[in-house]
């Protein structure tokens, strides 16, 4: 095996300190570059029938990762996705979180975990190489209760698996629900509409006009939301107002070990991505808000549907729905998640 981990620094005056970039690589041509700013994926090179290509969306100008309007590649939390009105009640007390998405709270707030430097360390074992990022967040940060600590570990093996392990806890009861926000395009360019998606979910989460869950979990069968069998993403996307930006429910609770939840395939390159996760569902977002105004790698505009996100986590806005799986953890109770992104070439 030829697994390696390397490090370099990016010095850009826009950042408050040099950005540490780590590259994990295997002998099959797969290489993942990670950043200590946002504990983020900055690129992922994957082999295909057309050679090795970067299958993620990135900014041409690295300083855009500071504001990161599209949340490219980052770890988001303390709570991923949206929380209606940025509010929730716990033990008789109402908490007001930062409202950074209109009236609502999104991906941990205006200065959430995705827009901060994390501590980092590399490691190498016989079967995998990796980087562990860690961060702390004070009590009241973005409105969340308790002093919070988290670790996110990325590891790569020779089988083409990028595994992300999450561990977190706080010294006060409160919500924790982490995920990764990488945008994938298995063709490496163009849009994702001809790529096929399979989701192991018979229900999805209905949302209102502000993309806040209504609490209803309709069946996908017979609708444009049905991806139980492989389907081109663009086939029925026009039937969905604004495009896909919904949560698909795979099961009622977290699993003990990762289970297959999504499969993405690009017919031309043969690249296939299987997502396995302990989480009960996945947010599928079809890059609806990309508008070409910002340039990505090689100066190409980041166009609508130029990439998609598959974000495994517990149900969004679960803090406000008693019948959803709970994201509330007791003080010092550990939070854990494992998600595996398995790349291969078929055809």
Asked if the model's pLDDT at residue 131 lies above 70, the reply is yes
CA distance 314 to 113: 18
3-state secondary structure at position 318: helix
- What value does the mean pLDDT take over residues 293-321? 97
Q: Is the pLDDT of residue 251 over 90?
A: yes
Please say whether the beta carbons of 103 and 86 come within 8 A: yes
State the Cα–Cα distance between residues 243 and 303, nearest whole angstrom: 14
Within 10 Å of residue 103's Cβ, how many Cβ atoms? 11
Percent of the chain as helix, strand, coil, to the nearest 5:
5, 45, 50
Q: Which two tokens stand for residue 243?
A: 């495009």
Asked whether residue 343 carries a pLDDT value surpassing 70, the answer given is yes
Residue with tokens 């939840």: 261
Q: Which residues are catalytic?
A: 181, 311
Question: In whole numbers, what is the pLDDT of the chain averaged over residues?
Answer: 97
Please state, for a pLDDT cut of 90, what percent of the chain lies above it: 99
Contacts of 19 (CB under 8 A, 6+ apart): 9, 10, 11, 12, 35, 36, 37, 62
Which range marks the domain in which residue 270 is found? 4-345
* CATH number of the domain residue 116 falls in: 2.70.98.10
Q: What is the pLDDT of residue 347?
A: 73
Give the mean model confidence (pLDDT) for residues 212-238.
98
Tokens of 23: 């590259």
Q: Tokens representing 229? A: 């069998």
Query: What pLDDT does 1 receive?
Result: 60
The two structure tokens encoding residue 64? 């855009």
pLDDT at 269 over 70: yes
Please state the domain count of the chain. 1
- What angle is formed at CA 278 by the lines to CA 83 and CA 157, rounded to 5 degrees? 120
- pLDDT for 191 beyond 70: yes
The predicted model scores a pTM of 0.97
Ordered strands of the 271-277 beta sheet: 119-124, 129-137, 148-156, 161-170, 335-345, 271-277, 259-265, 196-199, 231-232
Residue 26 has pLDDT above 80, yes or no: yes
3-state secondary structure of 156: strand
Distance of alpha carbon 233 from alpha carbon 242, whole angstroms: 14
Region 238-257: mean pLDDT is 97
Token pair in block for residue 277: 């996760």
pLDDT score recorded for residue 58: 97
Backbone angles phi, psi at 238, to 5 degrees: -70, -15
Q: Find where tokens 């409105």 sit.
A: 143
């Amino acid at each position: 095996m030829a697994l390696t981990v390397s490090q370099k620094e990016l010095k850009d005056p826009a950042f408050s300190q040099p950005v540490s970039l780590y590259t994990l690589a295997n002998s099959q041509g797969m290489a993942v570059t990670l950043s200590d700013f946002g504990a983020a994926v900055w690129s992922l090179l994957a082999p295909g029938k057309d050679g090795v290509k970067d299958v993620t969306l990135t900014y041409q100008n690295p300083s855009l990762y500071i504001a990161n309007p599209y949340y490219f590649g980052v770890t988001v939390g303390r709570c991923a996705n949206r929380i209606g009105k940025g509010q929730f009640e716990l033990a008789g007390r109402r908490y007001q979180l930062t409202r950074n998405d209109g009236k609502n709270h999104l991906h941990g707030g205006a200065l959430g975990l995705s827009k901060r430097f994390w501590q980092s360390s590399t490691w190498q074992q016989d079967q995998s190489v990796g980087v562990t990022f860690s961060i702390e967040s004070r009590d009241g940060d973005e409105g969340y209760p308790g002093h919070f600590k988290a670790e996110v570990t990325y590891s790569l093996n020779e089988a083409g698996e990028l595994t992300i392990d999450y561990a977190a806890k706080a010294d006060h009861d409160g919500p924790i629900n982490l995920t990764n926000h990488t945008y994938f395009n298995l063709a490496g360019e163009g849009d994702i509409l001809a790529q096929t998606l399979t989701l192991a979910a018979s229900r999805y989460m209905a949302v209102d006009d502000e993309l806040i869950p209504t609490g209803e979990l309709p069946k996908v069968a017979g609708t444009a939301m049905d991806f139980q069998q492989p389907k081109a993403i663009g086939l029925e996307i026009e039937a969905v107002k604004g495009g896909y930006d919904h949560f698909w429910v795979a099961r009622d609770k977290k699993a003990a070990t990762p289970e297959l939840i999504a499969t993405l395939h690009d017919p031309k390159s043969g690249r296939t991505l299987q997502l396995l996760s302990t989480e009960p569902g996945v947010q599928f977002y079809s890059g609806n808000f990309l508008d070409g105004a910002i340039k990505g790698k090689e100066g190409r505009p980041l166009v609508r549907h130029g990439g998609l996100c598959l974000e495994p986590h517990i149900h969004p806005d679960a803090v406000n729905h008693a019948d959803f799986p709970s994201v509330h953890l007791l003080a010092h109770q550990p939070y854990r998640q494992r998600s595996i992104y398995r790349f291969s070439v078929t055809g």
